Amino acid sequence: MIDFKNVKKHYSNGTIALDGVDLHIDDGEFVFIVGHSGAGKTTMMKLLLREEAATSGTITVGDYELTGIKNNQIPYYRRNLGVVFQDFRLFPNKTVYENVAFAMQVVGTPRAMIKRRVPAILTTVNLADKLQCFPRELSGGEQQRVALARALANNPKMIIADEPTGNIDPKMSIEIMNLLMKINKLGKTVIVVTHEKNLVDYYKQRVVVLNDGKIVEDRIGGMFQ
């Protein structure tokens, strides 16, 4: 469960990135967050990842209240999230296997379990034959699938994807979106930040539209206006 209550985010240069946002997302929902550049999508992501703190209001994610969370608790909060970025953000010097395994090592998963689980996750994203490849040896779509596998590694309750199809071709975009839909069907909350109208319109999920830091539309089965 994600709950934004009257969340404002003002930057020191005077920019108002979010201006009184109220948003409730239930467990297991699939939500597109859309909007033009500067609408506040990235800020919303940063607040959800607790990369930044809200200026006012409260953000609750599961058992964590992000406004008052202590710095040393942030890593433990992040372990409940799986994050996918537009630019993949894989470890360039680690193999595909190591990239996925690293997320599990961070949370202290035993080595034997990592050895069993990583190939299984990579099979889910159709990369079982790329275990020992380095990211530079993969296509954009494959790299994004590795990022998705890493996001799933610790079996998080929620996946946050920031423009997951922004750097890949349309065919791969469909594949990634299908994977995200599949993950959602397994009961995980999926939040996709995007500006790709076609994808949003095609999948007909809940769409939250941001404009100038405010939610201007929130509709289930909505379209990108």
Residues that bind another protein (CB under 8 A): 49-50, 71-72, 74-79, 81, 83, 89-94, 102-103, 105-108, 150, 154
Q: Smallest gap, in angstroms, from Cβ of residue 43 to another protein?
A: 16
Q: Smallest gap, in angstroms, from Cβ of residue 94 to another protein?
A: 8
Cβ proximity to another protein, 80 vs 126, nearer residue: 80
Q: Smallest gap, in angstroms, from Cβ of residue 154 to another protein?
A: 8
Cβ proximity to another protein, 99 vs 205, nearer residue: 99
Position of tokens 């990579």? 122
Beta bridge partners, 106, equal none
Cβ proximity to another protein, 136 vs 171, nearer residue: 136
Cβ proximity to another protein, 41 vs 150, nearer residue: 150
Q: Smallest gap, in angstroms, from Cβ of residue 149 to another protein?
A: 12
Q: Smallest gap, in angstroms, from Cβ of residue 212 to another protein?
A: 28
Cβ proximity to another protein, 89 vs 206, nearer residue: 89
Position of tokens 């594949």? 175
